Amino acid sequence: MIRFGAHVVLVLRYLLAEEIKDTFREKLMTVGDRILHMYSLFLFSKHHEELVGIYASQLASHRCIDLFVHMMELRLNSSVHVKYKIFLSAMEYLPFSQGDDSKGSFEEIIERLLSRSRETKAGKFDETSDVVEQHRLQSLQKALVVQWLCFTPPSTITDVKDISAKLLMRALIHREFALISMWRVPAMPIGAHELLSFLAEPLKQLSETPDTFEDYVSENLKEFQD
């Protein structure tokens, strides 16, 4: 039933957009967003992450961003395959950069994720564990967030090389949070090690196509190769 409702919403928005009066359009957007949001969560709960973007992309900007951030945080410790399905769903159906205030973008989702990863979530860890172990686990969580930036964008999207470069540059900038954890927890720098392993593939691609990246990115590459 909810699937039927979601499809009705899409049809009304696409086919009748020009004919709907302003008062009815506002109601359609509000009610329609609720239906699309519910169906997106339903697909997510059934592990059809690759389909979520079709419906989430039609949500108001803030709802779309909130939904993807929610899904990405819930799947943070999932397999690479599952996380990549969410990544592809966002990349294929959302604009990469913000251009339309009514549409959520991939960059806005990532910025929200990275911002939230910097927050210290004291209640998330066992109070009986020592401070060193808590720092170790926090650094790992930060590294797992950066992994979203290390996936390879689908070749079917526009400006795929530029987008790949932007993702890698953002990952290299954010890497400092995990590397700092290496100094605080020298015995078990798990976050830094995980992050460096995530960066291996995009850095390899960078070395193969250096002409597509800015000079300062190449400097970061040399730092990791040393």
Q: Please report the pLDDT score of residue 117 as a whole number.
A: 78
Give domain status of residue 119, yes or no: no
Quick check: is 134 in a domain?
A: no
Number of domains, the chain: 1
For 159, which DSSP code? Answer: T
Please give the average per-residue pLDDT across 179-208, as a whole number.
59
Q: Which two tokens stand for residue 56?
A: 């989430």
Question: Which tens digit of pLDDT belongs to each residue from 130-161?
Answer: 666 666 677 777 778 888 888 889 989 988 88
133: in domain: no
Classify residue 126: in a domain, yes or no: no
93 vs 123, residue with greater confidence: 93
Tell me, what's the pLDDT at 41?
95
What pLDDT sits at residue 9? 85
Q: Let me know if residue 220 belongs to a domain.
A: no
State the average pLDDT over residues 85-112. Answer: 90
Helix axes 61-74, 80-93, angle to 10 degrees: 170
Quickly state the pLDDT bin for 57 (edges 50, 70, 90): very high
- Mean predicted lDDT score pLDDT of the chain: 77
pLDDT exceeding 90 applies to what percent of the chain? Answer: 31
Q: Pick the more confident residue, 205 or 7.
A: 7
Q: What is the distance between the alpha carbons of residues 71 and 56, in angstroms, rounded to a whole number?
A: 11
DSSP of 39-91? HHHHHHHTT-HHHHHHHHTTS-HHHHHHHHHHHHHHTTTS-HHHHHHHHHHHH
Tens-digit pLDDT profile for residues 7-46: 888 887 777 666 666 666 777 788 889 999 999 999 999 9
pLDDT tens, 89-98?
999 999 998 8
Tallying the residues shown for the chain, one arrives at: 226
Give the whole-angstrom CA distance, residue 213 versus residue 219.
Answer: 11
Inter-axis angle of helices 106-117 and 80-93, to 10 degrees?
Answer: 140
d(CA 86, CA 67): 11
**Cα(174)–Cα(195) distance, integer angstroms:** 10
Instruction: Tell the burial category of 225 from Cβ atoms under 10 Å away from its Cβ (0-12, 13-18, 19+).
Output: exposed
Element (H, E) at 202: helix 190-208
Range of the structural domain that residue 183 is part of: 1-113+139-206
Report yes or no on 19 lying in a domain.
Answer: yes
183 within domain boundaries = yes
The predicted pLDDT at position 216 comes to 43
pLDDT of residue 224 exceeding 50: no
Q: Which amino acid is at 17?
A: A
CA 128 to each of CA 45, 122, 134, 214: distance values in angstroms, whole numbers, following the listed order:
32, 12, 10, 46
What average pLDDT does this structure show over 183-205?
Answer: 60
Reading the block at residue 152, the tokens are 């390879």
Longest dimension (CA), the chain: 65
Helix H or strand E segment including 14: helix 2-15
The answer as to whether 225 is a domain residue is no
Cα→Cα distances 30→23, 33, 35, 136, Å: 11, 5, 9, 43
Give the confidence band of 102 by pLDDT, cuts at 50, 70, 90.
confident
For 66, 148, 182, the CA distances from 222, given in Å and listed in that order, are 36, 22, 20
